[in-house]
């Protein structure tokens, strides 16, 4: 019984990690793209930079900051 519990716990852990990676790297960028009209590659890059620069806080703030930067660049492009 004890041996099978460890195997089941390992299977659950691996399943959770795989599902989390699918959600974070495939599903979330597509949803964010529809919500703020940003390319998923830009969102993914912003998340990586935000996590590297400021850690967890950067992950939460990186997508809104990227949206503002892209909007400002689009406004500048339309003015010129």
Q: What is the pLDDT of residues 17-66, one digit of tens each?
A: 999 998 888 887 777 777 777 887 888 898 899 889 998 888 889 888 98
**pTM, entire model:** 0.55
Residue 54 · residue 61 · CB < 8 Å: yes
Q: What is the pLDDT of residues 6-20, one digit of tens each?
A: 888 889 999 999 999
CA 48 to chain centre: 8
Sorted by where each begins, the domain ranges of the chain are 2-79
């Amino acid at each position: 019984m004890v041996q099978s519990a460890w195997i089941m716990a390992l299977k659950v852990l691996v399943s959770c990690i795989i599902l989390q990676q699918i959600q974070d790297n495939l599903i979330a960028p597509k949803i964010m793209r529809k919500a703020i009209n940003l390319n998923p590659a830009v969102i993914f890059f912003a998340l990586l930079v935000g996590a590297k620069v400021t850690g967890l806080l950067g992950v939460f703030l990186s997508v809104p900051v990227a949206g503002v930067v892209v909007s400002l660049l689009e406004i500048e492009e339309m003015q010129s």
